[in-house]
Amino acid sequence: MPDVPLIARGRLHADRVAFRADDGTRTYGELLGWSAAVASELLDGGNDLRRTRVALFVAPGAGWTAAQWGVWRAGGIVVPICLAATEPEWDYALRDSEARIVVADAPQAARIGPLCGRLGLRLVVPPATPPGGDAAALPEVEVGRPAMILYTSGTTSTPKGVVSTHATIRAQIESLVQAWEWTADDRIPLFLPLHHIHGIINIAGCGLWSGAVIEPFGRFDLPAVLDRVRDDAYTLFMAVPTIYVKLIQAIDAAGEEDRAAIVSAFRRLRLMVSGSAALPESVHARWSELTGQRLLERYGMTEIGMALSTAYRGERRPGSVGVPLPGVEVRLRGEHGGTIVAEQEPGEIQVRGPGVFTGYWNRDDATAAAFEDGWFRTGDVAVVERGSYRIMGRLSVDIIKSGGYKLSALEIESALLEHPRIRECAVVGLPDDTWGEAVAVACVLEDDEPLDLHALRAWAKGRLSPYKVPQRLLTVVSLPRNAMGKTMKPDVKALFSVSASRSD
């Protein structure tokens, strides 16, 4: 009986350690036995879940993977649920995916149990450790069968369920394993959430495919992660820009001896990756200055996995996300159609390949609108510079049409972050009778002193073309972000509306 791809790969590494945590280690063989037991419990005497949607509400670690594999081996579709979300958000995901079963570990079951009761869902609490004994016969699962419904972050619209097959997941993983040269000797921390493609595919999926060791954390625990880095526990490190900012602050605040130990340990890693949000060029430069590591940047999204990456062996320019990954085709399409071939001309990124999702769950119209002649329309705009792609932002929120120009909010943000008093910022376009859209920036400052718009504009004119200089300014305590650190641009726009109404 053929296995789904990740299960087959797990069998190749049965005696190797898959997860290492404070409570011990789990081998790939233990994961196989554990997942078979989960599958048997889910089947409950049946012979195939036949694509039943099964929501995962399990803490990161070996137990999460045992549950994921168990759902797959029983013939179900995994629906990862964000542990940090609100009950209305859980309710939405469960209802929208038409889940019938929820798998939760004991602590999480106590949290989601009441909602399962109200929705009439079966709640399964799998064994907390790998059980002994033989599992029941499991169904044959074809690689073309749907394997996962992963919800989009909802930064610009209601979250949609992205359907991927086992073949899709295999293609996404194989592309990264080849490009980033994963091996069974790799070791990596996992502190990114397992309801997002960064954690599920880039870290857990690639690590388990390769026979590597994964160290799970319930969240990003800065002291604990730095302790393990000092111990040379890892060969790879993947994080989002906000985490690199926190690491830089921690290194800057450390004593001389501790600072030297941390920097030296980071320098020894074979690869460090940043993704899930735009990496400011200032952060890229500062991290390189501190550690000697030039962060590898990549571009992807829930619907396609990863599509672009800077070179593992080669140049990594700040602001560049590189070239198409193995097995991925990428093109830029102009606003009025036509494929763009000239450098420096912006266009929408469109992607084609075996790693592209099959469609949105129960949203045929949205699926049809997302494709053009078989190419997935990402909604992101990029230009090619010296052979590499640079992301300008989302068509809907990061491309500002002002005074006849198309401006990249990400480019303006990168320049403004060079200001000594700006810690974080988000640039949006606001409706304007004169300009069409006015460039507006919301800033988190390094101190409590006010920042004057006139002074900011004067400073920015030395770094930005006049038509890119912000026309409106709002200082805030924090920027609205989602679980992966992405700025919620619609919420930023709303902050300006609230501010205006208060001043009326």
Distance of CA 387 to the CA centre of its chain: 25
Instruction: Cite the residue boundaries of each domain of the chain with CATH code 3.40.50.980.
Output: 5-141, 181-294
Query: Which CATH superfamily is 399-503 part of?
Result: ANL, C-terminal domain (3.30.300.30)
- Give me the pLDDT at residue 2, please: 67
User: pLDDT, tens digit, for every residue of 237-256?
Assistant: 999 988 998 999 999 999 99
Parallel, antiparallel, or unpaired: how do β-strands 405-408 and 399-402 relate?
antiparallel
Q: What is the DSSP annotation of 345-410?
A: --EEEEEESTTS--EETT-HHHHHHTEETTEEEEEEEEEEETTEEEEEEETTTTEEEETTEEEEHH
Quote the CA–CA distance of 417 and 282 in Å, as a whole number. 7
Q: Tell me how far apart the alpha carbons of residues 283 and 240 are, in angstroms, rounded to a whole number.
A: 11
Structure tokens at 102: 């929820």
Residue 6, pLDDT > 80, answer yes
Question: Does the pLDDT of residue 466 top 60, yes or no?
Answer: yes
Question: Where do the CATH 3.30.300.30 domains begin and end in the chain?
Answer: 399-503
Q: To the nearest 10°, the Cα dihedral for 347, 495, 443, 299? A: -30
Residue 189 pLDDT > 80: yes
Q: 368 or 23: whose pLDDT is higher?
A: 368
The pLDDT-based confidence of 504 (bands split at 50, 70, 90) is: very low
State CA 5 to chain mean position distance.
Answer: 22
Mean pLDDT of the chain: 92
How confident is the model at residue 131, as a pLDDT?
A: 85
Contacts of residue 469, defined as CB under 8 A and 6 or more positions apart, other chains included, come to 439, 457, 460, 461
From CA 414, how far away is CA 319, in angstroms rounded? Answer: 9
- Asked if pLDDT for residue 269 goes beyond 80, the answer is yes
| Per-residue pLDDT tens digits for 87-142 | 988 999 999 999 999 999 999 999 999 999 999 999 999 998 888 765 678 999 99
pTM of this structure: 0.87
Other beta carbons within 10 angstroms of residue 220's beta carbon come to 18
Region 462-480 average pLDDT: 92
**Can you give the pLDDT at residue 278?**
81
| pLDDT score recorded for residue 500 | 62
Mean pLDDT on 340-352:
90
**Mean pLDDT, residues 71-82:** 97
Q: Which strands make up the sheet holding 436-445, listed edge to edge?
A: 422-432, 436-445, 472-475
Range 389-396 average pLDDT: 86
pLDDT of the residue at 495: 93
> Could you tell me the fold of the domain covering 181-294?
Rossmann fold (3.40.50)
- CATH T-level fold of 5-141: Rossmann fold (3.40.50)
CB burial readout 444-473, b (16+ within 10 A) else e: ebeeeeebeeeebeebbeeebeeebbbbbb
Grade residue 161 by pLDDT with cuts at 50, 70 and 90: very high
Residues 427/409, Cβ–Cβ less than 8 Å: yes
Residues 6+ apart with CB under 8 A from 433: none
Residue-wise pLDDT for 30-67, tens only, equals 999 999 999 999 999 999 999 999 999 999 999 999 99
With b for 16 or more beta-carbon neighbours within 10 A and e for fewer, the 407-435 pattern comes to bbbbbbbbbbbebeebebbbbbbbeeeeb
Q: Which amino acid is at 500?
A: A
Question: Between vectors from CA 476 to CA 472 and to CA 478, what angle results, nearest 5°?
Answer: 130
Separation between Cα atoms, residue 269 and residue 236, nearest integer Å:
6
